[in-house]
Amino acid sequence: MDMVNGKDTLVPKGLKERILIIDDEKRMCDSLASLLSDSGFEVAAFQNSGEAANEIRTGRFDLILSDIKMPGLSGLDLLRLARTVDPQALVVLMTGYGSLESAIEAINQGVYDYLLKPVEFPQLELVIKRGLEKRRLGRARAFLLTELQAKNTELEARFAEINALFEASRALGTTMKLNVLLDMIIGLCTGVLHARIGSIMLLDDDRKFLTIAAAIGLEEEVIRTTRLPIGSCIAGYVAQNGEPLFVKDVGIDTRFKRENRPERYGHASLLSVPLKVKDEVIGVVNIAHRQSGGEFGEHDLKLLATFAGQAAVAIANAATFHQLERRVLELTTLQEIADAMSRAVSVENLQEIIFWGIRNLMPAELSLWFRWNDKEQTLTFSGSAGHTNVNLDLSIKVDPARLATAAEARDLVLSHLPPQEQSHIPTASFTAFLIHGVTGLTYVFCLASGMPGCISEENEKIAGLIARQASTMYERERSILNATRLLTMGKMISEISHDMRKPLTNIRGSLQIMRSRWPELAEGSELFRTAEEEVLHINELVRELVDFSNPNKYQTERVDIAAVLDRASHLVKPDMEKNQIACKTEFEPDLPELFVNKNQIMEVFLNLIINAIDAIGPQGGTITLRVFRQDHDQRPMIRIEVTDTGCGISEKDKGSIFDRYYTTKETGTGLGLSVVERIISAHSGQVEVHSRVGEGTSFLIYLPY
């Protein structure tokens, strides 16, 4: 309020207080007007009560000084009129005919003072000043009360906002369903800010586009189709800059006028606030069209920003919970599929189990299986599962190089499928997975759906995992079947081998008798020597057959492979010292233990180390033993190296060293390396050799873990 004479007043500074003088005596009017004007008041004098009444109706007065007895309207009439215009009107009545009745009536009508003529001016001036002081105080009190009421109203609004924020935070903590949470957030935002339109837009995984996740006041078509590039339009601008934005009028704002959609927002006031978690923008909240038709303000923007901070944390928590829930569902599904697959009675049954397990996690409509034949290099349809009954007679001859990636396999299958109206295979979403077994590619597994974009990258990963698990189970069942057949064959071989030993013993004994009785015949006959060698070979074959048919020979246990190799090197340490051979070891720490037949693996290592000693010879050298982890053929493996600095192997001999009975030694049998390859193959491993004549040889063994 402005200050006049050191007192609070509602009269604007520089303006005089206005007094109306009403008296039918001209001399009285003129003298009072002159005196009061000299005292600093603005004065309007009237001798006609009707004209005075018109002026009173304008309300432009601070005090009325009126005679009671006048032609037309009396002073009491003017008093009543003034009180209707302003219930707090300040009226002083003067009369030369005072009476108790008129005084009582004046008091009842709310007169400030009742003076008898003739009035002394000092007395009148004192009454006027006291009355105006009272009016100033009354107006100041009324003004303060009005301000207090406004502040109370504002305080109530702020309390309502705080209460709404509290209720919002409590409500946000009651649900972890993301879609329910988003609807709740936008409902609370529009409710607190009294807006007709609101939306929550979230960034996609690549952080390139905003899509509407929840909205109020927008059409379903707009919600479904909106895909806003970051940096574009108002929401894209806010998402890119990470700062709140207040637009007074969307229709005329030059920053966004070109991109504005009048049919949606028109000339609305709009707020847009980023949803941020740890300084990272995850989306945007937009609010537009205040229900009252007015504009939003800076306070509304701050309020929405405060709310958005709570909402962003709640959304992030819900997303984390959703991910955990998803992982639990995935693990549960994998376990259920594994349990069901163990009870599968056929390949078709297995395919159905896999598809319906995947269907629990994503909206796939169909699965297709294609088996790869590496020998014939063909991809052949082997079955399907899903809503559509598929009957395909499809075999694709293809270069394996065109199946190097899942994308190439998908394109290949799609290019060979019959038209959709004929095959009834949906292709709006179509993805392929390469399934590898021990020997390489075994299957191409495909998922199809008529809904575009329904198989996300995350869904692809879990579907591929399920398919590989199923393929592994299927291959394992085939291995068990083969093992059963081998067991039956082993029993039969064991019986035949046992029966063969007696005639072999007899033949070998007969040859020894002939050599002792006719030594000259034995020494000079090539046929005799050939017969002895072939009997020896047959005897070795029978020994191998007996070993193969012995079930205990293939029992496995968990062993430290590095410890077995180290033990093998210690067994032949005297031979190494005799030939002045140094042995170096490089073993990776904390290697996983392997399931192997310990005795057979020991036989492998002894064969390789003894071969290395023979290759180095008495001139001396070094044998290096290494063990470490290394992926091989897309599988995790343990790599074992036995490297020597010996004579090396020629290119001509390198291709035959694993052949049975092939040897370059004068006293060798040619069985050592063939046994090594057979044992490692039985353990699902691989053997490789790298050698240079005159430089040395490295045997590399890969065993899965």
For each of the domains in the chain, give its residue range(s) and CATH number, in order of start. 3-143 (3.40.50.2300), 174-324 (3.30.450.40), 345-553 (3.30.450.40), 555-704 (3.30.565.10)
**447 three-state secondary structure:** strand
pLDDT tens digits for range 46-93: 999 999 999 999 988 989 999 998 898 999 999 899 999 988 889 999
Can you give the length of the chain in residues?
705
Look at 469-483, 558-572, 664-678 and tell me which has the smallest mean pLDDT: 469-483
pTM: 0.40
Q: Is the dihedral of CA 435, 441, 447, 453 positive or negative?
A: positive
> Residue 669: is its pLDDT beyond 50?
no
- 275 pLDDT more than 50: yes
Confidence at residue 482, expressed as pLDDT on a 0 to 100 scale: 55
Q: pLDDT tens digit string along 494-550? A: 667 667 767 877 787 777 787 788 777 777 777 777 777 777 767 766 766 666 555
Residue 156, CA distances (Å) to 149, 163, 532, 619, 642 in order: 10, 10, 114, 101, 85
Q: In 3-state terms, what secondary structure has residue 47?
A: coil
Report the C-alpha gap between 220 and 226 in whole angstroms. Answer: 10
| H/E element, 699 | strand 696-704
Q: Which residues pair with 280 in a beta bridge?
A: 277
pLDDT grade for 21, boundaries at 50, 70 and 90? very high
As a whole number of angstroms, the distance between CA 111 and CA 120 comes to 19
Three-state helix/strand/coil letters over 272-316: EEEEEECCEEEEEEEEEEECCCCCCCHHHHHHHHHHHHHHHHHHH
Structure letter (DSSP) for residue 491: H
Whether 259 shows a pLDDT value over 60: the answer reads no
Helix (H) or strand (E) holding 138: helix 121-172
**Owner of token pair 């590399």:** 700
Sign of CA dihedral 121, 123, 128, 129: positive
Q: Where are the alpha helices (DSSP H) in 659-704?
A: 672-682
Q: Could you tell me the sign of the dihedral formed by the alpha carbons of 445, 450, 456, 457, in that order? A: positive
Count of alpha carbons within 13 angstroms of residue 19, beta-carbon side: 26
pLDDT tens, position by position, 344-386: 656 677 777 777 777 777 778 888 889 888 888 999 998 888 8
pLDDT tens-digit map of 617-643: 888 999 999 999 998 877 889 999 999
CA distances from 351 to 85, 92, 235, 461, 498 (A): 92, 105, 46, 18, 45
Give the sign of the dihedral formed by CA 508, CA 513, CA 516, CA 517. negative
Question: How many angstroms separate the CA atoms of 287 and 109, rounded?
Answer: 55
Burial class (CB in 10 A: 0-12, 13-18, 19+), 376: exposed
What is the reported pLDDT for 164? Answer: 63
CA 566 to chain centre: 48
Q: Is the separation of the CB atoms in 566 and 603 below 8 Å?
A: no
Q: Three-state DSSP class for 52?
A: helix
CB 269 within 8 A of CB 294: yes
Look at residue 222 and give its three-state secondary structure: helix
DSSP-assigned states of every residue in 341-405: HHT--SHHHHHHHHHHHHHTTS---EEEEEEEETTTTEEEEEEEEESS------EEE--GGGGSS
Q: Which of 643, 651, 494, 657 is nearest to 581 (CA)?
A: 643
pLDDT tens readout for residues 126-151: 888 898 888 888 888 888 888 888 88
Residue 258 banded pLDDT, cuts 50, 70, 90: very low
* Cα three-residue angle 311-315-316, rounded to 5 degrees: 120
SS3 content of the chain, % helix, strand, coil (to 5): 50, 25, 25
* Per-chain mean pLDDT for the chain: 80
Q: Check residue 306 and give its pLDDT.
A: 79
Q: What is the pLDDT of residue 12?
A: 54
For the record, the structure tokens of 317 come out as: 């928590």
Question: On the CB side of 700, how many CA atoms lie within 13 Å of its CA?
Answer: 12
Residue 614: name the closest of 639, 587, 640, 642 by CA.
642
Beta strands in 529-578 (DSSP E): 557-559
Chain-centroid distance, C-alpha 96: 94
Q: Cα torsion for 399, 401, 404, 410, to the nearest 10°? A: -40
Token pair of 306 as six digits: 């405060």
Q: Is the peptide bond before 519 cis (omega within 30 degrees of 0)?
A: no
Q: What is the pLDDT of residues 86-128, one digit of tens each?
A: 888 899 998 888 788 888 888 888 898 988 888 888 888 888 8
Which H or E element spans position 215? strand 209-216
Amino acid identity of 139?
R
Checking if the pLDDT of 44 tops 90, the result is yes
Q: Are 645 and 658 in contact (CB under 8 A)?
A: no
DSSP strand pairing (91-95 vs 63-67): parallel
Residue 583: pLDDT over 50: yes
CA distance 134 to 247: 47
Would the pLDDT of 474 be above 80?
no
Contact assessment for residue 572 and residue 613, using Cβ atoms and an 8 Å cutoff: yes
The pLDDT of residue 654 is 72
Count of CA atoms in the C-beta half-sphere (13 A) of 473: 24
